[in-house]
Amino acid sequence: MNIVVCKDYEEMSLRAAHMVAAQVKEKPNSVLGLATGSTPEGLYADLIEMYKKGEVSFKNVTSVNLDEYYPIAPTNDQSYRYFMNTKFFDHVDIDKANTNVPDGTAADPVAESKRYEQLVTDLGGIDLQILGIGRNGHIGFNEPDTKLMLDTHVTALTESTIEANARFFASANDVPRKALTMGMGSIFKARKIIVMASGSSKKGAVSAMLERSVDTNFPATMLNFHPDVTLICTADVLD
């Protein structure tokens, strides 16, 4: 795993933005795997700035997001579709028809998971995947468990994740209990992965990942198997 240590959140975001822009310049029709959450917000803001300055175009890019709550409407301001539209897609020249987020309104979430997995396969896999890391080591919504799923699937959120994400909702009771998420196999199809982590709350998760042993009860440790992972983190994560 390559490690890039940054002095603060701003530098972490900019370093990641430069890597994404380089990917898109090299391959304008790249498939980008995208994440939501607090961690990549600065990355999206920086990419918007770069786009406005004419430094990068997303015109031919296709995106696939890692996950979505279930059930949730795309118009709900806590949905990941809403997050992506308002924090990134609405501000750049990406064709919305080429942006993909699992459908939190699907009547049959199992069928939706299959459709999404097939979509990633049909796209030929992901060129560059952005990941955040959960405090409990989750990747996407692949929560700690004795078994990890390879393909996109419906999952129950753990209490720790519900509690961590409650900050975005009126109360923990309002956090959907389920999610649709790419599996570890879907994520591992990405040719290149960037994991971003900032702040001392991610210390435990990152140090477990860097111990270089693999534990399904800490999904991020699986990233040690992937041949091209770059961790971009703030210095306090490694203190």
- Known catalytic residue at 138: yes
Q: Does 38 interact with ligand F6R (rule: CB under 6 A)?
A: yes
Q: Does 102 interact with ligand F6R (rule: CB under 6 A)?
A: no
| Min separation Cβ 165 and ligand F6R, Å | 7
Question: Which residue's entry shows tokens 């961790």?
Answer: 231
* Helix locations, the chain, DSSP H: 9-26, 41-52, 80-87, 109-122, 159-165, 184-188, 203-210, 235-238
Question: Which residue's entry shows tokens 């900050």?
Answer: 167
Which of these is catalytic: 136, 142, 153, 165?
Answer: 136
Q: Which of 42, 109, 132, 183 binds ligand F6R (CB under 6 A)?
A: 132
Report the C-alpha gap between 101 and 206 in whole angstroms.
26
Q: Does 153 interact with ligand F6R (rule: CB under 6 A)?
A: no
- Residues that bind ligand F6R (rule: CB under 6 A) add up to a total of 13
Beta-carbon contacts of 33 under 8 Å, excluding residues fewer than 6 positions away, are 63, 64, 65, 66, 126, 128, 129, 130, 182, 187, 190
Q: Of 54-62, 103-111, 137-145, 210-218, which segment contacts ligand F6R by CB under 6 A?
A: 137-145
- Known catalytic residue at 11: no
Q: Of 104-112, 121-129, 133-141, 231-239, which segment contacts ligand F6R by CB under 6 A?
A: 133-141
| Min separation Cβ 179 and ligand F6R, Å | 9
Q: Does 104 interact with ligand F6R (rule: CB under 6 A)?
A: no
Radius of gyration of the chain (CA): 16
Cis bond before residue 71 (omega within 30° of 0): yes
Closer residue to ligand F6R (CB): 68 or 127: 68
Q: What is the contact mask toward ligand F6R in residues 7 to 36, using x (rule: CB under 6 A)?
A: ----------------------------xx
Q: Does 67 interact with ligand F6R (rule: CB under 6 A)?
A: yes
Q: Does 143 interact with ligand F6R (rule: CB under 6 A)?
A: no
Nearest-CB residue for ligand F6R: 132
**Contact at 8 Å (CB) between 99 and 59?**
no
Report the C-alpha gap between 144 and 159 in whole angstroms.
11
Helix axes 41-52, 80-87, angle to 10 degrees: 30
End-to-end CA distance of the chain, in Å?
Answer: 18
Q: Does 137 interact with ligand F6R (rule: CB under 6 A)?
A: no
| Min separation Cβ 122 and ligand F6R, Å | 21
| Min separation Cβ 80 and ligand F6R, Å | 6
Q: What are residue 105's phi and psi, to 5 degrees?
A: -105, 0
Task: Encode burial over 171-189: b for 16+ CB neighbours within 10 A, e otherwise.
Answer: eeeebbebbbbbbbebbbb
> So which residues are the catalytic ones?
67, 136, 138, 143
* Residues near ligand F6R (CB under 6 A): 35-39, 66-67, 132-134, 138-140
